[in-house]
A and B are shown apart, each in its own frame.
Chain A
Amino acid sequence: MSMTTPPVPSPDGRSFDESDHQRFDETLDADGSPRAGWAFVLERLESLGDTGQASRRAEIERLLRANGIGFNGPGGTADPRSPASGVDDEARPWPLDLVPMVIEPADWQRLSEGLVQRGRLMQKLLADIYGDQHLLADRVLPPSLVFSHPGYLRDAVGVEACRHLPLYGMDVSRSPSGDWYVADDVTAFPEGLGYTLENRLVLSRVLPRLFRQGRVERLAGYFRALQALVADSVDRDARCVLLGRGASDPHPFEVAWLAKYLGYTLVELGDLTVRSGRVFLRTVSGLQRVDVILRFLPDSMLDSLTSDADGSRGLPGLMHAVREGTVRVINPPGASVVGNPALNAYLPALSQRLLGEPLILSGAPTYWLGEAEHYEHVSQRVDELLFRDIRTHGALLDPTLLDTRARQQLIASMALDPMRYVAQERVDRSVVPVLDANGFRRRQLTVRLHAVNECLGTSTARPAEVLTGGLGLLDNDRGGRRQSFAEVDGSKDVWVLSDTAVDNDSLLVNTPTEADYALIEGELPSRVAENLFWFGRNAERLEFTARLLRGVIHEMQDEDRPQVEQAPSASLAALLRATSVACGAVPGFVGRGAASRLRKPDRELSRLFNDPAQPGSLPAALRQLDFNARTLRDRISPEQLLVLNELSAVTNGMEPARLEPARDPDTLEKRALQLDNVLGRMAALTGLMHENLTHGEGWHFLMLGRRVARAALSSRALRSLTEHELHDSRVLEAALKLFDSVMTYRSRYRSRIEPHFSIHLLVLDEANPRSLAFQFQEIDRLVALLAGSASAHRPSNAMTRLAAAGLSRVRLAEASSLVNTDRSQRQSLNRFLGVLETLPDQLSTELTTRFFTHVESRSELGQGTVTKLDGT
């Protein structure tokens, strides 16, 4: 039986009111009286008063930042060594409103029934599209509606796994008449889930009593169902990964947080490889089999070898692995085909046909321009309607917001390729109170809901599980336009109220504590190992830079003399030179013209303190570390984030162009304070690294990064310091201070500062954790540990040799001969340090080849040289 074109919906249908002024007010009943649930929440919020509200709004911001959501921003390059120019754009704070969206039991009943029903319907549709296609062959659904959708994967037709839709979500709004309607179907992956969790976590902490007394349904049930779904029919020790987009992700926080919460390894496409029809994760201990992929990537980015791949992105061979059943992908490839907004025109009839039930929740009246009748109707009313472009996964187009040219283009494009467009009646969404600095306002809202669909399989049968809550997405602040998920500028936690007391046992666990500290347990992707290594290196770099600069400032504060330009003391000059050399901020205080810059160091110092664009400067080092932390989003604990955020705050408000008089006492004091702040926070970060992280494989890479950087920076700085004046006790004291070893020296030698003892303490003493000897001893130990754990990539002889070379060189050296005043001998300290200085970099290169070679260049077969088919 075939179905005729769905009737052109009547634009003045009763259930949808276009009037701007009659938006449904969520806080009021049909008869205009306040709804009980809302009244309770609003009264309590109002009773907080202005200050109470302000402090809670500030608390929201603080918690979001502490949980790392402030890291949300445009991604950057995947290269952990160099932040691209764009990545340090100010991270956009996630906008969470203090007022929750309240859904009362009766409304929720209808919403959850509608959600489950629509999920079942979508499941049946998907099963048909990637199965026998009866609905298409019988023209119940226009075949071209399905075939022209970018989510229709031809390679998935006939693949059993692709006929299932385990996860389903939808955006719902409420029309002026008070009916809920569906604005969007979310079928590829549960976008928004991470924010839903985060919003709940934050709001339940900011409004703890209100949350407890309000009988708010908990979210945990859904997540348990999701975990059960993942664990379905796979071995207990199966490996599940959460596949995100990596640096290009518009919402990196979301996937990182979900991965932490659910306890799955967060991976990017480059971390995976398909070998012999199976998916593997590239780890530092070799390839590890992957059994389940929870994907947060669009269909078009999954496998570049399918016939519907969009360009060359994706994991080639993934679709084949899915077909063979060697890996489960959730949702399976091709699932977005049922997220096509055009389906709304057909769903009511399909629901009757496939489920034998009327559709509980339908979309706004919808026209698919591939139907000639619909096209005719729509072309008469372009400005009255909203348009969706199927090619770009339903991007919303409002003709009245387009300029004349763009509007003409849209109309021309509709005529050229009508199947690509869907038109929908404009339906206002309900309004909710929003609290900002100026008090309560009203904004329109859409709510995103999620469910784990029911499964009817005999061995895996389970009922549907609805997330009792959701993500409230506010309309654009200006213009009231509904926004795509990527551009959202306001969100709400959604409180589903219960008729009965809520079981507190199911309270959402506040923080994913275990996941935090299980850092790096289990498989360690090579990419993550490399990011950890560079995080360690750059943390050390930041600390060392701050130490050098603090030495400079202290020296200047001690220089008791008039503010005239004159040659600096030998110790200050030595420190300034060492800063330039060690930080790589050259020419700086070395090279041609150094003498005049030493006399008047204002400009160079201003750069080192204020200018992030100056290589080797304090803000540059901080920015680098911040970038590294972002690449490790899913592995940074809230406490570490707190410290990192405080560090960022230290350099906030710096003006690169500001030239400050270096010897001015106020400047000196301000800078000293700033450096103390940085070093204090670095001490906290270091403490957390040691005390709160599992000392596993990942930690070894992190610490190796620190040791390698400290060894290189220390030898470079020491070589520069001792190059001119080895016997100046002020220079030696500055060196001891730089290595935090003054106290040790005093207690041990109780003498004036001598070169012989100093060099012994700073270079050769294996018990001094700041000495070079200590660094090389640790490097040797860590390299040996990595050799033990990485059986598949046994470190080359070159790597262990390098580590041993450094250690034996310091062990065999004698302080007395290194500091011999004989001119030829003196060169030997310089040469000795010069050799040590190069070892860490060589070691770093060796590590990269051994462990980090995951970033292989990749190209299309036959790219650039393929010959054109030659006709004959």
Chain B
Amino acid sequence: MKLAVSHRTRFTYDAHATQAVTRACLTPRDTPQQTCLSSRLSIHPEPDDEQSVVDRYGNHIVLFDFAVPHDRAEIVAVSQVNTLPPPPLPADCSIVELAAVLAARHGQDMLLAEEFRLFSRLVTASSDPAALLHELDVNAESSHGVLAFAERLTNHIFSTFKYDPGYSNVATPLDDVLDARRGVCQDFAHVAILACRKLGIPARYVSGYLETLPPPGVEKLRGADASHAWFSVYNGDGHWVDFDPTNNKRPDEQYVTTAWGRDYGDVAPLRGVVYGGGKQELAVAVDVDRLPESSDDFRISTLTPR
């Protein structure tokens, strides 16, 4: 499937910002299930410097900075991606055996698995998913398969957590989300990652987009899509398998992957520091559109403040 993604961000300042240094993680990476055909980042005002780098996990990062006074900045990422349906599930490995299987592995692939087994800034060792694990009747000694567990976990989060965009924001601690069992896709991905890491299963955070379709007969609203997030687990044998607890499914060809990391902090779409500027306002608009296989016709939506 050919999908076009447009991700527009606008920062507005009530005073002149004299300098801003920004790190953007908005360019889709290639994965076994997707090929990024093209991706363009347009930045206004013209940055004084712009550099592309690849981070530790292979994500595409763009660093740019403005040294001129400005009262607004607009960053537009437009990408076209070819996606494939997910392959059948690879071989599974029991939770109890995973540690030994991993310990016997060598090489770069193992290093990433080790890295994503560790707790991280937003998914800390002190958070406790005991209730969740109890309900699923699983512990580190379970003989359940890792992938089978991830699938049940996905289903369990979907059915026992309430999707509630009003409940949380980026600063809401994971403990609160666990207590209230409310949140959005980012929280659900973090909950799943926490549960996996508590059992010693390498789990990573995946950021991207999901194509949404309006009800039949209704025209799709422009700018109404959003970025999305889910998680991925390691099967012990070189394979990472994605699960989406927000929609209770394995990501399919309607999904576009941008980047992955230990948690949201590694792959936030835009991070940066601004000097001066006073109060900031932020507006984001995302569109995901299906394109005819041959076409490159593409519309950019108008911005809607959020």
Chain A residues whose CB sits within 8 angstroms of the CB of B185 once the complex forms: 869-872
- How many Å lie between the Cα of A133 and that of B108 in the bound state? 8
Q: Is B40 an interface residue (CB 8 A)?
A: no
Shortest Cβ gap from B20 to chain A (Å): 7
Smallest CB gap from B265: residue in A: A307
B56 near A155 (CB under 8 angstroms)? yes
List 17 interface pairs A-B (beta carbons < 8 Å), by A numbering.
A137-B107, A144-B118, A275-B48, A305-B23, A305-B271, A305-B273, A320-B53, A320-B63, A856-B18, A857-B275, A858-B273, A860-B271, A861-B22, A867-B306, A869-B226, A871-B186, A871-B226
Known contacts A275-B67, A856-B18, A860-B272; A147 and B261 CB within 8 A of each other: no
Q: Which of B53, B63, B117, B169 contacts A317 (CB 8 A)?
A: B63
Known contacts A155-B56, A307-B261, A317-B65; A871 and B188 CB within 8 A of each other: yes
B65 near A143 (CB under 8 angstroms)? no
Smallest CB gap from A138: residue in B: B106
Chain B residues whose CB sits within 8 angstroms of the CB of A316 once the complex forms: 21, 272-273
Chain B residues whose CB sits within 8 angstroms of the CB of A22 once the complex forms: none
A323-B53, A867-B306, A871-B229 known; 17 new pairs, CB 8 Å cut-off, are: A143-B114, A307-B56, A307-B265, A420-B125, A856-B276, A857-B275, A858-B275, A859-B280, A866-B170, A867-B284, A868-B168, A869-B207, A869-B226, A869-B228, A870-B165, A872-B212, A872-B247
Q: Is B141 an interface residue (CB 8 A)?
A: no
Chain B residues whose CB sits within 8 angstroms of the CB of A861 once the complex forms: 11, 20, 22, 270-274, 280
B106 near A312 (CB under 8 angstroms)? no
1/0 contact trace for B37-48 toward A, CB 8 Å? 000000000001
1/0 contact trace for A223-244 toward B, CB 8 Å? 0000000000000000000000
A2 near B106 (CB under 8 angstroms)? yes
- How many Å lie between the Cα of A419 and that of B210 in the bound state? 37
Q: 8 Å CB contacts to B: which residues of A842-872?
A: 856-872
- How many Å lie between the Cα of A865 and that of B11 in the bound state? 10
A859 near B48 (CB under 8 angstroms)? no
B111 near A133 (CB under 8 angstroms)? yes
1/0 contact trace for B94-106 toward A, CB 8 Å? 0000000001001
Chain A residues whose CB sits within 8 angstroms of the CB of B284 once the complex forms: 867
Q: Is A89 an interface residue (CB 8 A)?
A: no
1/0 contact trace for B104-146 toward A, CB 8 Å? 0011101100110111000001100000000000000000000
B111 near A143 (CB under 8 angstroms)? yes
Q: Is A277 an interface residue (CB 8 A)?
A: yes
- How many Å lie between the Cα of A55 and that of B240 in the bound state? 73
B274 near A858 (CB under 8 angstroms)? yes
B228 near A147 (CB under 8 angstroms)? no
Known contacts A858-B275, A861-B11, A867-B306; A148 and B265 CB within 8 A of each other: no
Chain B residues whose CB sits within 8 angstroms of the CB of A871 once the complex forms: 163, 165, 184-186, 188, 226, 228-229, 246-247
Known contacts A323-B53, A871-B229; A305 and B21 CB within 8 A of each other: yes
B226 near A137 (CB under 8 angstroms)? no
How many B residues touch the partner, as a band? 35 or more
Known contacts A305-B273, A861-B20, A866-B282; A148 and B118 CB within 8 A of each other: yes
B108 near A137 (CB under 8 angstroms)? yes
- How many Å lie between the Cα of A25 and that of B170 in the bound state? 58
Shortest Cβ gap from A414 to chain B (Å): 11
Q: Is B293 an interface residue (CB 8 A)?
A: no
A273 near B19 (CB under 8 angstroms)? yes
B106 near A868 (CB under 8 angstroms)? no
Smallest CB gap from A304: residue in B: B273
Q: Is A136 an interface residue (CB 8 A)?
A: yes
Tell me which of A133, A157, A305, A324 has the highest count of chain B C-beta atoms within 10 A of its own C-beta.
Answer: A305
A417 near B119 (CB under 8 angstroms)? yes
B163 near A137 (CB under 8 angstroms)? no
Smallest CB gap from B168: residue in A: A868
- How many Å lie between the Cα of A2 and that of B228 in the bound state? 40
Q: Which of B21, B103, B170, B277 contacts A868 (CB 8 A)?
A: B170
Chain A residues whose CB sits within 8 angstroms of the CB of B83 once the complex forms: none
- How many Å lie between the Cα of A859 and that of B273 in the bound state? 6
Shortest Cβ gap from A573 to chain B (Å): 49
1/0 contact trace for B292-306 toward A, CB 8 Å? 000000000000001
Chain B residues whose CB sits within 8 angstroms of the CB of A858 once the complex forms: 273-275
Q: Which of B111, B119, B270 contacts A137 (CB 8 A)?
A: B111
A147 near B118 (CB under 8 angstroms)? yes
Q: Which of A859, A860, A865 contacts B281 (CB 8 A)?
A: A865
Shortest Cβ gap from A562 to chain B (Å): 64
Chain B residues whose CB sits within 8 angstroms of the CB of A210 once the complex forms: none
Q: Which of A139, A143, A155, A864 contacts B280 (CB 8 A)?
A: A864
Q: Is A380 an interface residue (CB 8 A)?
A: no
Chain A residues whose CB sits within 8 angstroms of the CB of B115 once the complex forms: 143, 147
Q: Is A377 an interface residue (CB 8 A)?
A: no
B165 near A868 (CB under 8 angstroms)? yes
Q: Is B266 an interface residue (CB 8 A)?
A: yes
- How many Å lie between the Cα of A222 and that of B106 in the bound state? 42
1/0 contact trace for B209-253 toward A, CB 8 Å? 010100000000000011111000000000000000011000000
B63 near A869 (CB under 8 angstroms)? no
Smallest CB gap from B281: residue in A: A865
Shortest Cβ gap from A464 to chain B (Å): 31
- How many Å lie between the Cα of A138 and that of B111 in the bound state? 10
Q: Is B179 an interface residue (CB 8 A)?
A: no
Q: Is A442 an interface residue (CB 8 A)?
A: no
Q: Is A201 an interface residue (CB 8 A)?
A: no
B111 near A867 (CB under 8 angstroms)? no
Chain B residues whose CB sits within 8 angstroms of the CB of A320 once the complex forms: 51, 53, 63
Q: Is A824 an interface residue (CB 8 A)?
A: no
Q: Is A689 an interface residue (CB 8 A)?
A: no
Q: Is B55 an interface residue (CB 8 A)?
A: yes
Q: 8 Å CB contacts to B: which residues of A314-355?
A: 316-317, 320, 323-324
Pairs of residues from A and B, 3 with the lowest C-beta to C-beta distance, nearest first: A871-B185, A870-B226, A861-B272
Smallest CB gap from A420: residue in B: B125
- How many Å lie between the Cα of A872 and that of B213 in the bound state? 10
Q: Is A416 an interface residue (CB 8 A)?
A: yes
Q: Which of B65, B111, B186, B228 contacts A274 (CB 8 A)?
A: B65
Smallest CB gap from B57: residue in A: A154
Known contacts A276-B67, A307-B56, A863-B280; A870 and B184 CB within 8 A of each other: yes
- How many Å lie between the Cα of A220 and that of B4 in the bound state? 65
Q: Which of A155, A276, A856 contacts B55 (CB 8 A)?
A: A155
Known contacts A147-B114, A307-B55, A861-B22; A868 and B169 CB within 8 A of each other: yes
Chain B residues whose CB sits within 8 angstroms of the CB of A862 once the complex forms: 11, 270-272, 280, 282
- How many Å lie between the Cα of A304 and that of B278 in the bound state? 20
